[in-house]
Chains A and B, each alone.
Chain A
Amino acid sequence: MAGNTFDHLQVLRDMRSKAVLGGGVKRIEQQHARGKLTARERLALLLDAGSFQEFGALATHQVNSFGLDKQRYPGDGVITGFGKVNGRRVAVYAQDFTVLGGSFSEVQAQKISRIQDLAIESGIPFIGLNDSGGARIQEGVRSLAAYGEVFVRNVMASGVIPQISLILGPCAGGAVYSPALTDFVIMAGDSYMFLTGPDVIQAVTGEQVTAQDLGGADVHTGRSGVAHLAADTEVAGLALAKLLLSYLPQNNNEDPPQITPDDPPNRMDEALNSLIPNNESEPYDMRDAIVAIFDHDSFLEVQPHFAPNAVIGFARLDGYSVGIVANQPSCMAGALNIDASDKISRFIRTCDAFNVPLVTFVDCPGYLPGVDQEYGGVIRHGAKIIFAYCEATVPKISIVTRKAMGGAYVAMGSKQMRTDLAFAWPTAQIAVMGAEPAVRVLYRDDVKNAADPAARERELVAAYREEFFNPYRAADLGQIDEVIEPRETRPRLARALEILRTKVQQNPPKKHGLSPT
């Protein structure tokens, strides 16, 4: 390339200008017409102003078959680089749908892998903005191998740096696995993700289904549990990613950011003392307790629509990030089932990986009985919760608010699960099983032979309740460290977490545990 310095500069400037336009003005207009933002607009919304530093902006593919030689665009359909979110360094990629439908290529993989490697080495979060029609078919096995390059780095980064995926358009076929391997998936707008699309499903099984009904945000946040959060618009989705990141550290060696608290740690909410209904069968919303206990306006519920019988999420206490696991008595009485077990165990491991202390609120009558549940493997799914709690080395505090029955009591953060501090409200009922079934098992003959079996059963049930339906027997045995008034929960938790902030616990040396699957 002959010429003077000005010519060289002009060539570079022209190439950069072309790269900024992606697939061209016409395709950008089409993207806007679909109600979607371009990749660069999304990055501008996500990152702090002027913080983005792009790499690989001029990379193009070298494939000539199927007419690809006439379709070379600088950047090859993905924008990669580093930027800052609220002053925190992040690595980020954004697939550009205006370039060949954002199709995943060898060059895309090289670019994404490059920033993944640098993110892992630098210990900074990795955020992916996905909007791609799938693998670039013209590249054949190259594009398939390209997926593998990204997957292996997703796995290597797992538990080391936070990884957040935003689905902002189509995400199909092999492309779904990279988001699935990351820590959090956020779906926004009319995005969808599936392994096999509606056309293939119709050809194979004859079922007719739309893309949204098959893999829209409602499906993945409500039924499949693939996505953790959803937003109506891309702007809201990007804001959610920023919010989520605020609860997570830069990497597994550091702590999440602590903000200057604006809510006194000793604040007591009197409403908590009347939260538990007098009728033990009456439901209440556990989120009311969470909102009242933790810092004002700090609760971010994760997977709110998937397995709603369990509540998980992040909040802040005295400015520190905290992970919350809770049963939800207002849905299925808070019983644990397969989906709830998956939801809870995954969240516990996420918090443990990123040094986020865990607070567990227990109101659980047990695991959900049912043929479907047993056939579905509720045993191995339920065991995941136990595995996750036992394995976790972060500070763990549990609070029994009402029912803590049987195996569910043991699983949900009992002292034997290496829980550091166990609190109970006076309304706690810690027992092997409910009063009526217990009496039927223990006193079957006694009740049967009584002159008035119904009266005898009522008498025995009352005696059982008197004996076990309180937290004091468990406190006698050291299973509960302290019975507290509900309103005291916030100051108690704040002080306990202050003590446990420097907790260090080491598991035995091993490659990795074998968590039930």
Chain B
Amino acid sequence: MSDLAWGLQMTVLGMGLVFGLLALLWGLLTLVQRLDRSADGGPVTDTDASASTADVEALAADAVAALAGPAPASQVAGEAPPRVQGMDAELVAAILVATLRHRAILRREAAPATRRYWPGSMLVVSRWVGAGRSRQNSSWQRRSR
């Protein structure tokens, strides 16, 4: 019986230790997250990297609108600069310009994300074209007959 009691004690102690440490870790992570948010000046909403161009452009429009609004007057009055989704609007505008520029370069270079099919796959070539190309490129061969 004493062994069972000792076993229960050890179980409670062990599990308590584990859960206690987990709780401590959770607390630490929450603290770090809060500190991180306060350093950034507010919550930042994630913008999905694969967002469509329209979404990015809409975000850019927000940034432009924020910058084009009463920002100069408010800045003169000593107020904080305009913000979009928790970030400095000018920073958002700069990031978005760079993003759009990068997208344009990828498009011009036909990067994988902008392509309809993988080069070399021949997936979109019909039998007519496949056989025709073969004939076109074989004009120098003697016809067998």
Contact = CB atoms under 8 A, between A and B. Distances in A.
Interface of A: 86-89, 123-124, 242-243, 245-247, 249-250, 252-260, 262, 297-298, 319, 355, 393, 501-502, 504-512
B128 A509 contact: no
B140 A512 contact: yes
B117 interface: yes
A508 B135 contact: no
Nearest to A319: B116
A260 B128 contact: no
A86 B108 contact: no
A259 B114 CA distance: 5
Nearest to A125: B119
B47 interface: no
Contacts of A257: 110, 115-117, 119
Most chain A CB inside 10 Å of its own CB: which residue of B115, B118, B125, B141: B115
Nearest to B135: A506
A262 B54 CA distance: 11
Contacts of A247: 110
Contacts of B125: 254-255
8 contacts: A87-B119, A246-B110, A258-B124, A259-B115, A262-B107, A355-B133, A504-B133, A509-B143
A502 B129 contact: yes
A509 B115 contact: no
A86 B109 contact: yes
Nearest to B131: A504
B120 A508 contact: no
Interface size class of B (residues with CB under 8 A): 20 to 34
A295 to B, nearest CB: 9
Nearest to B137: A252
B39 interface: no
Given A87-B112, A259-B114, A298-B108, A504 B135 contact: yes
Given A502-B132, A509-B142, A509-B143, 18 more contacts: A87-B112, A242-B109, A243-B108, A246-B108, A247-B110, A252-B133, A253-B122, A253-B137, A256-B110, A257-B115, A257-B116, A260-B116, A297-B108, A298-B108, A502-B126, A502-B129, A506-B135, A507-B136
A504 B115 contact: no
Contacts of B114: 259-260
A410 to B, nearest CB: 25
Given A86-B110, A86-B111, A262-B53, A505 B116 contact: no
B136 A89 contact: no
A506 B139 contact: yes
B38 interface: no
A511 B142 CA distance: 9
Nearest to B103: A262
Contacts of A88: 119-120
- Interface of A (DSSP majority class): loop
Nearest to A87: B112
A254 B108 contact: no
A55 B41 CA distance: 52
B104 interface: yes
A310 to B, nearest CB: 23
B134 interface: yes
Given A258-B116, A258-B117, A510 B135 contact: no
Nearest to A85: B109
Given A246-B109, A257-B115, A504 B128 contact: yes
A507 B122 CA distance: 23
A509 B141 contact: yes
A123 B141 CA distance: 20
Nearest to B128: A502
B109 A254 contact: no
A123 B125 CA distance: 16
Q: Which 4 interchain pairs have the tightest Cβ spacing?
A: A504-B132, A246-B110, A87-B112, A257-B110
A253 B140 CA distance: 16
Contacts of A86: 106, 109-112
Nearest to B121: A254
Contacts of B134: 253
Nearest to A295: B107
A259 B110 contact: yes
